[in-house]
Chains A and B, each alone.
Chain A
C-alpha cells in the first residue's frame, strides 16, 4: 500500500465557488449552481457489435447505450452515449481503477480507453427555475415531453459545447463543459440565474 499522497489538485472552478454559492436563489423560482470537481470520466471507443463490447458491458455491469441521448447506470458508473461507437463512462470510483478494468475488458480489440477526468468538469444546476435558465441558451427542447431524467445529450449552452445530463425531476441538470470553458460557462449561468431572484415580470 502506497503512502497517502497530498491531494494538490485544483478544480477549474475553485476560484468561483463563493460566487456560485452567492448566486443561489431560493423559493418557488429557486435555482442553485454547484461544481462537482474530479468526477471520474473515461472515454471509451469500441465497435458496438463486437465481443469486446460484450466484455466491457459485462465488466461495467450495464449495457452500452446504443441511441443518442440514452444513459445506463450500474453502481457507481453511468455510461453516456457520445457517438455510435463512443461513450463516456462517468464514475464515482477511482479513475485509474476504472480505466484499467475497461482496458483489460477491451483486450487487444480495436478501440480505446482513455482517462479523460481532467478534460471536463461537472456543473450541477438544480431547482424549479433550472430549465428556464438553460432555455436561455440551449437549442435543445428541454420540455419533459422530449427531455427527461436519465437523458444525456451533447449540445451547446450559450456558446459553450457541453454534455448535458438531466439527473432528476427537480429538475437537476449536470453540465460537462471542457475545463478551459468552465469559467465562462459558470459566469454565464450565474448571470442567467440572477433574474429569478426578483419577482416574475408579467
Chain B
C-alpha cells in the first residue's frame, strides 16, 4: 500500500486516491491541424520510464483535488507531491540509467 501525501490533506492511504496517468501532457496547440497519427500519439501514447515518473492523482474521498506525484517506478517510492500550479520539482536523484 502506498502512503501518498496530498498537498492539502497530508499523508493518506492509497485507497483514498484515484490514479490519473502521466502528468504534464500538454493539449495540442493546434488540434485541428493534427494528423491521425499525431492525435493517437497525444491520446494514447505515454512514457514508461524506469525511475522517477510524474503522474496525476486525485484525492477522491478527501478534498477531491487533482495534484501531481513523482513516483519511482522501480522502488515504488514517492519522491514528491506538488500542486498542479507548481512546476515539477528537480530531484538530485532524477535522471540517469539504472
- Which A residues have a C-beta under 8 Å from some C-beta of B? 68-69, 82-84, 86, 139-140, 153-156, 161
Contacts and interface: CB of A to CB of B under 8 A. Distances in A.
A83 B6 CA distance: 11
Given A139-B13, A139-B16, A156-B15, A161 B8 contact: no
B61 A68 contact: no
Contacts of A153: 9, 62
B64 A156 contact: no
Interface string B11-25: 011011000000000
Given A68-B63, A154-B62, A161-B61, A139 B15 contact: yes
B63 A139 contact: no
Contacts of A69: 9
B6 to A, nearest CB: 8
Nearest to A69: B9
Contacts of A139: 12-13, 15-16
Given A84-B63, A86-B64, A153-B62, 7 more contacts: A68-B10, A68-B63, A83-B63, A83-B64, A139-B15, A140-B12, A155-B12
Question: What secondary structure prevails in chain A residues at the interface with B?
Answer: strand
A155 B6 CA distance: 13
B65 interface: yes
A114 B62 CA distance: 19
Interface of B: 8-10, 12-13, 15-16, 60-65
B63 A155 contact: no
Contact of A155 (B8, B16, B64, B65): B16
Nearest to B62: A154
Nearest to B83: A84
Interface pairs A-B: 4 shortest CB-CB: A83-B63, A139-B13, A161-B61, A68-B9
A83 B8 contact: yes
A161 B63 CA distance: 12
A82 B63 CA distance: 6
Contacts of B8: 68, 83-84
B13 A154 contact: no
Contacts of A86: 63-64
